[in-house]
């Protein structure tokens, strides 16, 4: 008998990763979650279940995103994030869950949530058996609006507000009182202040690309080369978030 749940998972796992060994710091992907799986990793080359020296299984989150990226006419835009259930990737995912306002993962890692993943960079880390290269990522999670809410809000905004009719009381006749003659007062000319131009708004997509690298302490020249964002905009994002530019 066919287990349709396993069948769905097999096809759901066909999305390709948006990151590879050539990805530069600042590489990012954004999409809507379509499926989430929690499964054991497999060893490269043998496809055998991966385990730690202790014998415990190496688990991972596999999150499918529907993106707008299309590398070729047959590309359906599905991308898969493979996030280790231990170490820095798990910590970054836990931070994103907390920042989203969710109390537990099952409240936010669901279809409809908009997720952004950004490759921040590499660094050397001292492990139990020596040093190794660690790839760092940041994640953001934004809960999708319930179905129908956006439409209802847009309809409400489009409807004109009806003004109620308020009857004004009839004016009462007033008795004319001769006004005392006063010496004319000098007219003061108001001083017009030149309005200061407002700082231009920054594209949220640019903020999502630049902010994780600023938080990671990426040098300014490296950041601008990796993202293509000009120095002035980088400094504006840093100032708006209380960060120093390295």
Domain spans of the chain?
4-145, 202-246
Q: How far is CA 174 from the centre of its chain?
A: 65
Q: Which fold has domain 4-145?
A: OB fold (Dihydrolipoamide Acetyltransferase, E2P) (2.40.50)
pLDDT in tens, 195-221: 666 667 788 777 777 777 777 677 787
CA trace torsion 89, 91, 96, 97 (10° rounding): 120
Given this model, what pLDDT does residue 246 score? 75
- Residue 218's Cβ-count burial label (10 Å; 0-12, 13-18, 19+) is buried
Given this model, what pLDDT does residue 95 score? 95
Given this model, what pLDDT does residue 153 score? 39
Residues facing 142 on adjacent strands: 114
pLDDT in tens, 81-139: 999 999 999 999 999 999 999 999 999 999 999 999 999 999 988 877 888 899 999 99
Using DSSP, state whether 130 is helix, strand or coil.
strand
Q: How far is CA 58 from CA 40, 54, 79, 105, 228, in A?
A: 6, 11, 22, 19, 37
Residue predicted with more confidence, 141 or 246: 141
How would you label 156-174 residue by residue, b for 16+ Cβ within 10 Å and e otherwise? eeeeeeeeeeeeeeeeeee
Given this model, what pLDDT does residue 187 score? 61
Block residue for tokens 């030149």: 194
pLDDT of 10 higher than 80: no
Given this model, what pLDDT does residue 5 score? 52
Q: Where are the alpha helices (DSSP H) in the chain?
A: 4-12, 87-99, 105-108, 149-158, 204-216, 220-227, 231-240
Weakest mean pLDDT among 15-24, 186-195, 213-222: 186-195
Residue predicted with more confidence, 226 or 74: 74
Given this model, what pLDDT does residue 93 score? 96
Given this model, what pLDDT does residue 162 score? 44
Using DSSP, state whether 123 is helix, strand or coil.
strand
Given this model, what pLDDT does residue 196 score? 62
pLDDT in tens, 27-64: 999 999 999 999 999 998 888 999 998 999 999 999 99
Contact 86, 118 (CB under 8 A): no
CA distance 36 to 88: 19
Sign of dihedral through CA atoms 94, 95, 98, 102? negative
CA distance 82 to 79: 10
Instruction: Name residues whose C-beta falls within 8 Å of residue 24's C-beta, 6 or more positions apart in sequence.
Output: 119, 226
CA distance 75 to 47: 25
Residue predicted with more confidence, 19 or 194: 19
Residue predicted with more confidence, 183 or 228: 228
Given this model, what pLDDT does residue 148 score? 39
Residue predicted with more confidence, 166 or 88: 88
């Amino acid at each position: 008998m066919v287990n349709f749940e396993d069948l769905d998972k097999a096809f759901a796992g066909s999305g390709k990763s948006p990151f590879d060994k050539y990805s530069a710091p600042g590489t990012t992907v954004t999409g809507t979650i379509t499926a989430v799986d929690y499964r054991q990793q497999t060893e490269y080359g043998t496809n055998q279940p991966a385990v730690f020296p202790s014998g415990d299984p190496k688990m991972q989150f596999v999150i499918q995103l529907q993106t707008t990226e299309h590398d070729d006419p047959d590309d359906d835009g599905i991308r898969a994030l493979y996030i280790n259930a231990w170490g820095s990737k798990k910590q970054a995912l836990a931070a994103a869950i907390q920042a989203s306002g969710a109390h537990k993962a099952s409240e936010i890692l669901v279809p409809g949530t908009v997720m952004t993943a950004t490759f921040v960079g590499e660094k050397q880390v001292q492990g139990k058996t020596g040093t190794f290269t660690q790839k760092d990522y940041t994640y953001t999670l934004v809960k999708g609006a319930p179905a129908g809410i956006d439409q209802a809000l847009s309809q409400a905004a489009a409807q004109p507000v009806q003004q109620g009719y308020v009857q004004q009381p009839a004016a009462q006749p007033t008795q004319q009182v001769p006004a005392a003659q006063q010496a004319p007062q000098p007219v003061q000319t108001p001083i017009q202040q030149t309005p200061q131009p407002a700082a231009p708004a920054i594209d949220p997509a640019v903020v999502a690309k630049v902010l994780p690298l600023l938080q990671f302490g990426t040098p300014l020249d490296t950041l601008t080369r990796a993202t293509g964002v000009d120095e002035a905009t980088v400094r504006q994002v840093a100032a708006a978030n209380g960060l120093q530019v390295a």
